[in-house]
Chains A and B, each alone.
Chain A
Amino acid sequence: MSFLIDYTLHLADSNLILAQRNAEWCGHGPILEQDIAITNISLDLLGQSRNMYQYAATLMGNGATEDTLAYLRTEREFKNCLLVEQPNGDWGQTVLRQFLYSTFQQLLYQQLQKNTDEQLAAIAAKALKEIAYHVRWSSEWVIRLGDGTVESHQRMLHAIDELWRYTGEMFIPADYENSFGVNVTALKDEWMQKVTSVFEEATLPIPEKIFMQTGGKTGVHTEHLGYILTELQYLQRAYPGAEW
């Protein structure tokens, strides 16, 4: 049971943190339509994470709710992968992060929808319809910027430099994934093929074998997560139990 709870929280946390990151663009997007697009994606991710938190809260009992799980856990308790907590940087870095994550999430949820746990399977099946949009949108942006101007190409190279080292972790299972979660190691080849085909069209190089950072899934995060939680949890920390 505790593995199931941890696994559900891990899935929920990755989505919540990326939703929060994307929401930072609200009102700051490069043009109105894209501002709306990135916040729509944020909303989808938030909705998916709410479904997961509600499920985890039911499994946990003891007064846990989706709100206590999102607002009252500390940094070391969050199990999101490191990729999603990385700063937005410029638009190129944001769309690359989305592309790398959504491509992974799609493969992951295609397996998760067949899981023996019916609730996780149902959440995944519903989310897949939304993820298809995220993959398409972010792929188009990676291609547009990679194969764009000298400046945009340069920025995408920089984004790859910033983010690639956080992708390896997604394919290394944590303890709680081993028992019944999706076999993430088995997703790696297909993920790499999909990323390679978009990168080729975008005239971007796949980095050579580099050192991969790990730790997020077991609560050891980069410095960024603390700042995200400070903002995300501010209200409930300052005014415990506030409702409106």
Chain B
Amino acid sequence: MLVQTNKLKATTENVMQVLSAVTDPEIPVLSIIDLGIVRDVIINNDEVEIIITATYSGCPAMDMIAMNIRLAMMENGFSKIKITTALAPAWTTDWMSEDGKRKLKEYGIAAPDKNFNIATDGVECPQCHSTNTKLLSEFGSTACKALYQCNNCREPFDYFKCH
């Protein structure tokens, strides 16, 4: 089978464009750019090195994200791709884009909020926007989220924790 590829020139801009279409497998509305896990792109002739960082040490999505980056790059005609994982500086939700936070809310996940650096009752419900909400657990469906319930609309929801 012939794979259709669109050859893109190796520029930082083009690479970032490709990466902005790679999403987090756990939260498919967020791209890896929105999440702030792409730290750098280094172009050396026709080799592209992409430096990423993990959100949490044990995030199981990282292996898949690295694979998806490779696939997306290959689809766009890049063949020499190097993916490097950097540990320092440690990832923080401060690197999440404003656009990313908006997309999170629309998707039904409360976005990181500086007023709730430590998760406590009162994070705004992404469904009905009430702040009459209750923290159920600091640990949620993935490492990056806490579990809440809204006392107003009674819906449970996830909060993407400040980190």
Binding site for B on A (CB under 8 A): 33-34, 36-37, 40-41, 43-48, 50-51, 118-119, 121-123, 125-127, 129-130, 133, 136-137
Contacts and interface: CB of A to CB of B under 8 A. Distances in A.
B16 interface: no
Which of A40, A44, A121 has most chain B Cβ within 10 Å? Answer: A40
A44 B90 contact: no
B58 A46 contact: yes
Given A119-B87, A126-B88, A129-B163, A44 B57 contact: yes
Interface of B is mostly: loop
A118 B57 contact: no
10 contacts: A33-B136, A33-B139, A36-B140, A37-B139, A40-B143, A44-B58, A48-B57, A121-B88, A125-B90, A126-B90
Nearest to B86: A122
Given A33-B136, A137-B138, A51 B87 contact: yes
Interface of B: 54, 56-60, 87-91, 118, 136-141, 143, 147, 163
B149 to A, nearest CB: 11
Contact of B58 (A34, A37, A43, A122): A43
Contacts of B91: 126
A25 to B, nearest CB: 12
A44 B138 CA distance: 14
User: Which of B87, B89, B118 has the most chain A CB within a 10 Å cutoff?
Assistant: B87
Nearest to A52: B57
A122 B87 CA distance: 6
A65 to B, nearest CB: 14
B87 A133 contact: no
Contacts of B88: 118, 121-122, 125-126
A50 B138 contact: no
Contacts of B139: 33, 36-37, 40-41, 133, 137
B56 A47 contact: yes
A127 to B, nearest CB: 6
A34 B137 contact: yes
A123 B87 contact: yes
B143 A44 contact: yes
